[in-house]
Structure 1
């Protein structure tokens, strides 16, 4: 399909995905009900991701192209446009969630050393890998990636870290 135009968008009625040859990765999606919205398909950290850019009624063609270019540029530079948008919506990063859980648990611990090592262990092993990611994007595969290198060399540390990561994830589930 050739480059999309305001006129061609208005004329399209058939459900499906229509690419905009002017902007790589930008698609017009027409749903079964006839609703039209913008979708950006791009690679983020080597994985293909789809990101909604808004309804055609709210986001015009020129704005959709600008948004698509901006998000693709961010992804090419190693960023994650979806994570950035979630951060803007108030979803905490893993590191922020871990600090919040630590602060909530502090009054329950009698041993000061335990309180210090609880967060230090999380910050030493988990934060470098997943600390800046929104908590809702972390999977069991990410936890496995963190634990695998230390599971045989430091089994007690790995066991405690697994429990601490579970506590942070349980807190996140509870918060929705």
Structure 2
């Protein structure tokens, strides 16, 4: 039976030196367990054992005089009984004896009790570090495109607010703060980021980096503005596209502006254009071969390039610069996901770049009635037909798609297609 009692622990005081100043005092419980009281009154537990014939003093944690307990994160709650003994940083007398007995047993067995004590301790990473670790651990089960989007979206939209915070310190309030800047302006992206933040925090909980439950979805909804009702991407009426293209061709040829024009002429998605490289382009064959890793359906797709698209590319970049990303950002890598949207806003338009796909589809339906609808859907890299029809359709209808895309280029950019005398030169700029 130990010498200390709960009352003695609660009432223990520091000692006093010859000068009358308070000094640290040790109260012995027995079997090498001591209660240490600092000059300021702070109380902690210490175990003294023999390891390889040498005395070792091992700190066990703070003395808990209220019986609440604390986990490895320093949090007190009623789940203290569920916390592994070696992770307890605040110990009642009973817990201190239990932890001391476990470490003494290890010492007698020849193990280093300090090493064993620290083995289970958790180093809690920041949110930014957890994003990196979650991406590394989970990406093998994702497509390259999904893995890239997961990391990039969190680094751009979550890390600025959450990146420096420990994952065990993030609750609903912190997530709301991170999402607020994009919640109404970029609702689709905001919902993706919210889901991905949840994935990171769930991963952190599974790794033992946080003990709290994940932020409650109802609290997040309550703390954020109501988003506009969901709908289709805002699209420019196809009749307005030629004037828009002509206006943009008359401006300086920044990477983002030319990328928007290339997206229009190819009816491609923004991400596919941003990740386009010169190695994917065959100017002689007039094709753009996009790998599965950048495609929404995770299937490789070949785009037929119109005269307008070819002229746009050839004029934008001289031969000696045709390598790597076609539309490079300031640091040399692909443009960010907001660069094309910014180009649209700079042009005074509220529509999305994705909406040009809708404009193309409407134009094809109304102005190219002799071309089967299936051709336009293939040009958009959509799957067409039933599973049975897909099994029997072995052609990608490339010749018909080339006819359709050439007509679209002539409609959208006549000055680049040789059907207009008013040809505007494209001047390269670093802006």
TM-score, normalised to structure 2, is 0.22
Alignment partner of 2:41: what SS? strand
From the superposition, tell whether residues 10 and 105 of structure 1 become closer, same or farther in structure 2 (CA, over 3 Å).
closer
- Cα deviation, 1:90-140, whole Å, max 9, x if unaligned, reads 211111111111112211122x22221210110111112221222111111
Residue 141 of structure 1, aligned match among 173, 177, 188: 173
Cα distance in 2 for partners of 1:146, 1:109 equals 25
Residue 97 of structure 1, aligned match among 123, 126, 130: 130
Is 1:28 the counterpart of 2:41? The answer is yes
Cα distance in 2 for partners of 1:131, 1:10 equals 40
Q: CA deviation at 1:28?
A: 2.6
Cα distance in 1 for partners of 2:181, 2:142 equals 29
Aligned pair count reads: 111
Cα distance in 2 for partners of 1:10, 1:105 equals 50
Note the residue ranges of structure 2 that are not aligned, 5 or more in a row: 1-13, 17-21, 26-38, 45-61, 64-89, 91-120, 209-431
Alignment partner of 1:164: what SS? helix
Q: CA deviation at 1:10?
A: 7.2
Query: Equivalent residue for 2:161?
Result: 129
| 1:2-151 equivalence runs, <5 A | 6-7=15-16, 8=22, 28-29=41-42, 90-110=123-143, 112-151=144-183
Query: Equivalent residue for 2:319?
Result: none
Cα distance in 2 for partners of 1:9, 1:91 equals 34
More strand by share: 1
Cα distance in 2 for partners of 1:116, 1:91 equals 25
Greater RCO structure (CA 8 Å; 6+ sep)? 1
Alignment partner of 1:28: what SS? coil
- Cα deviation, 1:78-97, whole Å, max 9, x if unaligned, reads xxxxxxxxxx9521111111
Note the residue ranges of structure 1 that are not aligned, 5 or more in a row: 12-19, 21-26, 38-53, 55-87
**Structure of larger gyration radius:** 2
